[in-house]
């Protein structure tokens, strides 16, 4: 029975779940053109689909960004545990190690972050509590339930990452204690209006939905990393704005 419940919860978290301060206004998308763009680390969420995550990494690479991707750690003692099942603070430490390695490999002073779903929470913990702001240029989360995802309660008995993402958890209370975003950090929160918890605004960030730019567009949570409009919004955020997409 425990295995069946765990499987149902995993499916729900992947398909359904995994928040508005300043709102962006639509604009025509233009190709990025920074002289020397920062490397970008794409961070997956709970039970991330590596293939879908790679679609975003590949798109960033085609736009001229040295792009990398990672999934969050699982609980090593549990066979078959999904990525992101470890405590999110441990995931944040993994993000820190990945950023350090990218900086060593590329010689870049700073790395930009693009975290999907739970990946955005791990990235924000990193910049807020692990001195990540010293090594990060631009922070982008998309599809991230910054105030929590109630489905996390269903699997919190099995995986600590689920307990951390549940609304009102000690992890989220500490993470959202003002300021939610470190002062001076260029931060963006992107979301789909087709999903619930991710619509919650992130104070201190530029908040925008893909439907602000592409009215009527339907994007489910799982497909956000490979959606063309999301990809273009992320690229425009990495350029420093304004946010823009041609809604491909």
How much is the pLDDT for 157?
A: 85
Strand partners, 111: 136
Domains with residue ranges and CATH for the chain: 40-239 (3.40.50.1820)
Distances, alpha carbon 59 to alpha carbons 28, 65, 140, 244, in Å:
18, 9, 16, 16
Rounded Cα distance, 243 and 28, in Å: 9
Distances, alpha carbon 52 to alpha carbons 113, 120, 129, 231, in Å:
17, 16, 29, 12
pLDDT bucket at 14, cuts 50 / 70 / 90: very low
Greater pLDDT, 22 or 137: 137
Greater pLDDT, 83 or 33: 83
Per the prediction, the chain carries an average pLDDT of 89
Greater pLDDT, 110 or 150: 110
Model confidence over 170-191: pLDDT tens digits?
999 999 999 999 999 999 999 9
Rounded Cα distance, 177 and 104, in Å: 32
Structure-token pair, residue 53: 């995550």
Model confidence over 207-218: pLDDT tens digits?
999 999 999 999
Greater pLDDT, 199 or 78: 199
How much is the pLDDT for 147?
A: 97
pLDDT bucket at 35, cuts 50 / 70 / 90: low
Is the pLDDT assigned to residue 122 strictly greater than 80?
yes
How much is the pLDDT for 40?
A: 98
Is the pLDDT assigned to residue 31 strictly greater than 80?
no
Is the pLDDT assigned to residue 169 strictly greater than 90?
yes
For the ranges 10-24, 33-47, 189-203, the one whose mean pLDDT is highest: 189-203
Distances, alpha carbon 189 to alpha carbons 19, 42, 103, 195, 229, in Å:
7, 14, 24, 14, 14
Backbone angles phi, psi at 180, to 5 degrees: -65, -30
Total-model pTM: 0.88
Is the pLDDT assigned to residue 13 strictly greater than 70?
no
Of 161, 157, 167, nearest to 3 by C-alpha is 157
């Amino acid at each position: 029975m425990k295995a069946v419940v765990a499987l149902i919860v995993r499916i729900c978290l992947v398909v359904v779940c995994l928040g508005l301060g300043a709102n962006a206004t639509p604009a025509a998308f233009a190709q990025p053109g920074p002289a020397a763009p920062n490397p970008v680390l794409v961070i997956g969420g709970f039970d991330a689909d590596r293939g879908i995550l790679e679609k975003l990494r590949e798109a960033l690479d085609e736009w001229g960004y040295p792009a990398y991707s990672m999934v969050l750690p699982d609980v090593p003692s549990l066979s078959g545990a999904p990525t992101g099942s470890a405590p999110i603070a441990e995931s944040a430490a993994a993000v820190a190690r990945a950023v350090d390695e990218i900086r060593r490999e590329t010689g870049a002073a700073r790395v930009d972050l693009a975290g999907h779903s739970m990946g955005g929470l791990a990235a924000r913990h990193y910049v807020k509590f692990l001195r990540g702001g010293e090594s990060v240029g631009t922070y982008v989360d998309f599809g991230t339930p910054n105030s929590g995802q109630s489905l996390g309660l269903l699997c919190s008995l099995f995986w600590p990452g689920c307990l951390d993402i549940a609304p009102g958890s000690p992890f989220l209370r500490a993470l959202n204690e003002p300021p939610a975003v470190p002062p001076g950090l260029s931060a963006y929160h992107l979301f789909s209006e087709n999903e619930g918890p991710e619509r919650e605004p992130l104070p201190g960030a530029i908040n925008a939905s893909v439907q602000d730019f592409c009215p009527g567009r339907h994007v489910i949570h799982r497909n956000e990393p490979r959606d063309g409009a999301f990809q273009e919004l992320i690229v425009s955020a990495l350029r420093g704005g304004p946010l823009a997409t041609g809604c491909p």
